[in-house]
Structure 1
Amino acid sequence: MGETEHIIGLLLGTEEDWPRAFETLVRRLGVISGENGTAHRLTTRRVTIEPFDLRYKPRHSLVIDRLAYWYYHPREWLKKAALMDDVYLLNSPFTFQSMEKHAAYCAMMRLGLKVPDTVLVPYKNPPENTRYAYTAARYNQPFDLDEVAGSLGYPLFMKPYDGGAWVGVSKIRNSAELHAAYDESGERLMHLQQAVEGYDVFARSLTIGPETMVMRFRPELPMHDRYAVDHNFLDAGAGEEVVTISRLVNAFFRWEFNSCESLVSGSEVHPIDYANACPDVSLTSLHYYFPWAMTALLRWSAFCVVTGRQPRLDTDTRRYFDIGDDPDLSYGEKLAAYRGLADEYFETERYQEFCATRLGHVDEMVHEWVGSSAFDDLLVETVTSTFPPHEHDRFVAHFRGLLGAWVNDNTKPLR
């Protein structure tokens, strides 16, 4: 019996480190035995951008997209591949607008999550459209920006409704800062959002399929230092809630590769940014956690194509809203019900069994590779292409230390 080949398409922008890592691990993966004894082999192919016939059938089984959130031509290719060809996409291109934060805030507020109070304010400067003057004169209501801010209370944050990477985000402490930030916003549509003051920890969770890594995040530091290596910074209850929220968001929007930011204050978890369905997974950002991310991405991709998992384009929001709207359910009961829906969507039990029986060698394979000279070459090349020459030695040593710690922490003891 021959092998079935599954082409994993990589739709990429400027990044080079994690795609090379993923391609290497796919080559090393070897043949996977399917549930009926069939043989499956994964290969990778970087997706190019060119004219495409809507009736042309791509050969890809699955595509990992890192580009279409801002580049519309490949986004339309993804929509075509999903609608016409059943190509498996880790993130649905039909819910991309929810990455603009506003829809995500609305949905999770309805589901009862502890999202800080948020107000959307009109543009400071009108959009360029010949119809604007008439429409504004007839329908735009005057409003008092100070009154809106006062209803939320200082301090607060002004942030673009469609933002990312902290661009355009301002902490507002008083009326002067409020007006300065609003004047500077220009034609960007902005949210005002309550600040969560005195929080204990900032948690960022990266979820790939049904796997989640919760990391301590320090947004005030440079990107290479933001993820702290800290394994016990949340108590069990808060940690489990962060994981549940992360998987709930993904199952709800049909995202399978996304990050979530939450502020944890005592026993309270406040999700503040959880629509990042093109998350940063670079080696120099994740460092210690980079091997986990590549392993999870490899396992989930293999599971989807080998088992023939069917893509789900329908969001099925009513099942979630029925839970969120139920006045008889406590917050904890709602979280448990959401976790059940997420586990159902991700086929968590089936996935875990598949990893144990079909991919049992993957952890050791990744561990061997991260400890190899080939990985060190990738690390050095990534550092030298990312940082200025006078910082190369410093950062090579820095990341070697962090990845060496991962290798040591994940070395199995001799029997």
Structure 2
Amino acid sequence: MTEHPGEQAGREASMADVEHTIGLLLGTEDDWPRAYEGLLRRLGTVGGPDGRTHRVRSVRVTIEPFNLRYRPRHDLVIDRLAYWYYHPREWLKKISLMDDVYLLNSPFTFQSMEKHAAYCAMMRLGLKVPETVLVPYKNPLDNSRWAYTSARYNQSFDLDATAAGVGYPMYMKPYDGGAWVGVSKIRDPAELHAAYDASGERLMHLQAAVEDYDVFARSLTIGPETMVMKFRPELPMHDRYAVSHDFLTAPVGDEVVTISRLINAFFRWEFNSCESLIRGADVHPIDYANACPDVAVTSLHYYFPWAMTALLRWTVFCVVTGRRPRLDLDTSAYFAIADDPGLDYRQKLAAYRRLADDYFDIDRYQEFCDKHLSHVDAMVYDWVMSEEFRSLLRETVRAAYPVHEHERFLAHFGGLVDAWARDHG
């Protein structure tokens, strides 16, 4: 059969296409996955540095038995589940160790370097983490060896004296916790003992409070992009992120960004949030090991389009350029800076920033976005203005709030997204 020249050209073009698969390992969330999937469909094909065209698709990962020698179809996996569900965590370890699948985030460091180890590492680097003490369990563990070990080796300690060394007020918080579960503000010895008695078998930190702070900043970092947001923890979740663009001075804002990227590069966390308290010119990171940072449209609202844009750009960059996973931690390079007596705090931050920028390949990423993804901002704007997005918002509100609050919250979130559209149109 004779092939028409147009058919031959189409076949050759198809053969030149490269297809990539991104896995979404999900828990209960559905809003941002739908958004991400919709944007990937709109993206279509993109060019690459190799001169070929690339198509990126996403699939939702299912949980089932897996042979350790099977070959996955994924080039990259966005993990939002393995921080608490261990079966998929072990799957992530297998596909990264054996198959070089790129992961957001590293399951190895999130398991071995939870909040406690993260505090230790960043204290070593000289960040202004508040004074922190780890106290033993209040109640015995359910372990047959506990009684013998405890009787022979556990030292009795004075909780009041330990707390006095930290200073009131302070917070008692789980060493590996999340979502503010088990966190208590301690103002006096009575509250100290009540919180410790209630901690049971949870291992707890005592951490000094940063009183009279000026700003609570929450920075969301996706790959090399960071959005620093003014956070108001005392308000309901739908009101916690304030739409404010000038709440930090330029030097302090840059320091928050540097700390956020430093933490992510150090631990190989590429989809993570960092909480910092700013008092005067001092930035105090207080929580920055967040395996599943909040990206819900009902939380981020105004900032939701930015998060989806950053996630789209970074994941597409990684798979199209063949970015290789780096499971090893180059801690010695960071510690060499930390231990250099000739560098002051600012100089160390600048050196850490260079290491982080190198890890995230900032220049190459920006060049790729400028050349191959320059249309993405306009594409995201059109999507936010589309019925597809409004339908997603309506369905998310109806699923999250009782019927009598639907109209209120649709107006609330719709107004905030409209504000984003006015600012970016």
Fold equivalence (TM over 0.5): yes
1:322 aligns with 2:322: no
Any idea what SS the aligned residue of 2:347 has?
helix
Matched residues in 2 for 1:81 and 1:183: separation? Answer: 42
Q: How many residues align structurally?
A: 411
Instruction: Please report how far the alpha carbon of residue 328 of structure 1 lies from its aligned counterpart in structure 2 after TM superposition.
Output: 1.5
Any idea what SS the aligned residue of 2:388 has?
helix
The answer for the alignment partner of 2:9 in structure 1 is none
The answer for the alignment partner of 2:8 in structure 1 is none
The answer for the alignment partner of 2:70 in structure 1 is 56
Matched residues in 1 for 2:52 and 2:278: separation? Answer: 46
Please list the CA deviations of residues 121-176 of structure 1 after superposition, one character each: whole Å capped at 9, or x if unmatched.
Answer: 00000110010011001100010000001011100000010111111101100000
TM-score (normalised: structure 2): 0.96
Any idea what SS the aligned residue of 2:210 has?
coil
Find the partner of 1:377 among 391, 395, 419: 391
Matched residues in 2 for 1:128 and 1:333: separation? Answer: 48
- Opposite residue 76 of structure 1, the aligned amino acid is E
1:68 aligns with 2:92: no
Find the partner of 2:103 among 63, 70, 89: 89
1:344 aligns with 2:368: no
Question: What percent of counterpart residues are identical?
Answer: 75
Instruction: Please report how far the alpha carbon of residue 37 of structure 1 lies from its aligned counterpart in structure 2 after TM superposition.
Output: 1.1
Find the partner of 2:48 among 5, 14, 34: 34
CA contact (8 A) 1:99 1:162 kept: no
Please list the CA deviations of residues 356-378 of structure 1 after superposition, one character each: whole Å capped at 9, or x if unmatched.
Answer: 00000000000001011111000
Instruction: Provide structure 1 residue ranges, at least 5 long, that are not aligned to the other structure.
Output: none
1:160 aligns with 2:140: no
1:268 aligns with 2:268: no
Instruction: Please report how far the alpha carbon of residue 97 of structure 1 lies from its aligned counterpart in structure 2 after TM superposition.
Output: 2.5
Instruction: Please report how far the alpha carbon of residue 99 of structure 1 lies from its aligned counterpart in structure 2 after TM superposition.
Output: 5.8
Matched residues in 1 for 2:181 and 2:325: separation? Answer: 33
Matched residues in 1 for 2:310 and 2:241: separation? Answer: 18
Find the partner of 2:245 among 216, 231, 246: 231
The answer for the alignment partner of 1:287 in structure 2 is 301
Instruction: Provide structure 2 residue ranges, at least 5 long, that are not aligned to the other structure.
Output: 1-12
Larger radius of gyration: 2
1:120 aligns with 2:134: yes
Any idea what SS the aligned residue of 1:275 has?
coil
After superposing on structure 2, the runs of 4+ consecutive aligned residues of structure 1 that deviate more than 4 Å are none
Matched residues in 1 for 2:317 and 2:36: separation? Answer: 15
Find the partner of 2:222 among 195, 208, 213: 208
The answer for the alignment partner of 1:312 in structure 2 is 326
CA contact (8 A) 2:393 2:410 kept: yes
CA contact (8 A) 1:98 1:104 kept: no
- Opposite residue 412 of structure 2, the aligned amino acid is H
Instruction: Please report how far the alpha carbon of residue 251 of structure 1 lies from its aligned counterpart in structure 2 after TM superposition.
Output: 0.2
Matched residues in 1 for 2:55 and 2:341: separation? Answer: 49
Matched residues in 2 for 1:214 and 1:98: separation? Answer: 27
- Opposite residue 49 of structure 1, the aligned amino acid is I
Instruction: Please report how far the alpha carbon of residue 30 of structure 1 lies from its aligned counterpart in structure 2 after TM superposition.
Output: 1.2
Any idea what SS the aligned residue of 2:176 has?
coil
Any idea what SS the aligned residue of 2:59 has?
strand
The answer for the alignment partner of 1:363 in structure 2 is 377
Any idea what SS the aligned residue of 1:60 has?
coil
Instruction: Please report how far the alpha carbon of residue 277 of structure 1 lies from its aligned counterpart in structure 2 after TM superposition.
Output: 2.5
CA contact (8 A) 1:25 1:366 kept: yes
- Opposite residue 114 of structure 1, the aligned amino acid is K
CA contact (8 A) 2:32 2:296 kept: yes
1:410 aligns with 2:424: yes
Instruction: Please report how far the alpha carbon of residue 278 of structure 1 lies from its aligned counterpart in structure 2 after TM superposition.
Output: 1.4
The answer for the alignment partner of 1:246 in structure 2 is 260
- Opposite residue 171 of structure 1, the aligned amino acid is K
The answer for the alignment partner of 1:219 in structure 2 is 233
The answer for the alignment partner of 1:183 in structure 2 is 197
